[in-house]
Structure 1
């Protein structure tokens, strides 16, 4: 029974390449433009970011999806989309567009749900009785969780690839992923910025599980075999 369920989970899509990475980048850019330079959307960003009050108390169940396409400022948008362009295109070519999009969305949604669970456990919210539907202490926007997941997938698919940090220092992709994971873990407890480090860590973790469960690939085993040679 378990093997039958697993075989269904791992049933592959028919390969096709549709430039989904560029489409996702375009959607993010359009959403940012609509919210920051037009009045075409009558509701505020609060409804599309993910936060405890909106998701838990007001049943805004679309937030785990929509928060991935919202960004706080142009720098946030630019660097997220730059990372998606660099790594997403290669991952999409390797996996096919359908698999890539499913991984991107699954990892992003689960990372958002994990983060809102953390915020709920920490009490990082408040309910407003004023003229607004709700207010919040912590709200999450951005595609970082999904993009960190794509970075891990890249390091698994191309474990011998070297990424040039600051365009100068060549670092093997698996080492870069491990280094980022350590930095994010430490920053979660020591950093004072508004960066959602737990979302980045969740992106790594859920991408790891996606590769393991959906694709039958153990990232640790792949990296261990590479460095043994």
Structure 2
């Protein structure tokens, strides 16, 4: 039995909205009946309802009327992001695209790079002084290498590092993506990841330390920060068996990161805690801005049709 997110009614056979991930009774199952944020996407006829079929007849005329307005750059390149275009799959699926990029980058880091003579940094060597580190990590040695600002977000330091971040992104990412839309989700993920890494490097430069950071944990903490504001009662399982709300889980991670930063200057056991805090603050700020526009979020993660399920926890950000 589940509770409707709108009226609070107990429902034996609840409906899960595939657009926002919420749980609803029969009276509120339709997107228009629960103020689904996905309705905003339906206001773009050319992107949602227009397959482009009519435009192929008569040079784009529709019963004597020609479409007006400029075409986007993607349209001119033949990469229409509407339902009929090759980029349509990524609508509401950018979470999984980012997961795939993380896996591909990891393979390049540890399989293809060594094959092309790019050696992995040995123990005790600052990655920022090696070719490998200058490609995949954001460092205090070369913070001006702009490409590392983004590449480091998708790179990871070990299989466990990648696994923990991938689990958290897989479970929490789709919820935020459905709330804000794919474009804003992409901006949130990349910008928060970049700023988290730069924040950690900035602190290290001030304190005179040498660090190299990589990983998506800063971006994932931003995602959790958003959910802590928009869906504070969302129930998750820490380590897959300890039930708690997403708000409580986020507060626990924040408290631990603050303690680690104060006691150790930001890096503890190879984890960049100031980067975690930076991402979390960005997520809390963004969640506060949008909470009144997206309606109430889901109260639990569901396994099976209707939404991803199970808990994650942010992985390591080295």
TM-score scaled by structure 1?
0.76
Give the match's secondary structure for 2:271.
coil
* Preserved CA contact (<8 Å) 1:34 1:41: no
Question: Relative to 1, partners in 2 of residues 1:82 and 1:22: Cα closer, same or farther, differing over 3 Å?
Answer: same
Q: Distance in 1 between matches of 2:212 and 2:137?
A: 6
Q: Which residue does 1:113 correspond to in 2?
A: 198
* Preserved CA contact (<8 Å) 1:162 1:172: yes
* Preserved CA contact (<8 Å) 2:221 2:276: yes
* Preserved CA contact (<8 Å) 1:34 1:40: no
Q: Which residue does 1:182 correspond to in 2?
A: 255
Q: Which residue does 1:84 correspond to in 2?
A: 169
Larger relative contact order, structure 1 or 2 (CA cutoff 8 Å, min sep 6): 1
Q: Which residue does 1:53 correspond to in 2?
A: 141
Q: Distance in 2 between matches of 1:212 and 1:65?
A: 25
1:124-135 matches, within 5 Å, as 124=209
Identify unmatched segments of 5+ residues in structure 1. 1-12, 125-136, 223-229
Q: Which residue does 1:37 correspond to in 2?
A: 111
Listed one character per residue, the Cα deviations across residues 148-183 of structure 1 (whole Å, up to 9, x for unaligned) are 111111222222211111222211111111111011
Q: Distance in 2 between matches of 1:101 and 1:41?
A: 33
Q: Which residue does 2:275 correspond to in 1?
A: 199
Q: Distance in 2 between matches of 1:123 and 1:47?
A: 22
Pairwise CA distance, 1:41? 8.3
Listed one character per residue, the Cα deviations across residues 81-126 of structure 1 (whole Å, up to 9, x for unaligned) are 11000100111122111111111111111111111110100111xx
Q: Which residue does 1:227 correspond to in 2?
A: none
1:200-215 matches, within 5 Å, as 200-212=276-288, 215=290
1:27 matches 2:101? yes
Q: Which residue does 1:97 correspond to in 2?
A: 182
Deviates more, 1:145-154 or 1:159-168: 159-168
Q: Which residue does 2:123 correspond to in 1?
A: none
Q: Distance in 2 between matches of 1:174 and 1:142?
A: 23
| Larger fraction in helix | 1
TM-score scaled by structure 2?
0.56
* Preserved CA contact (<8 Å) 2:229 2:288: no
Question: Relative to 1, partners in 2 of residues 1:89 and 1:41: Cα closer, same or farther, differing over 3 Å?
Answer: farther
1:173 matches 2:226? no
1:144 matches 2:229? no
| Larger fraction in strand | 2
Residue 229 of structure 2: which of 145, 156, 169 is its match? 156
Give the match's secondary structure for 2:107.
helix
The structure whose Rg is larger is 2
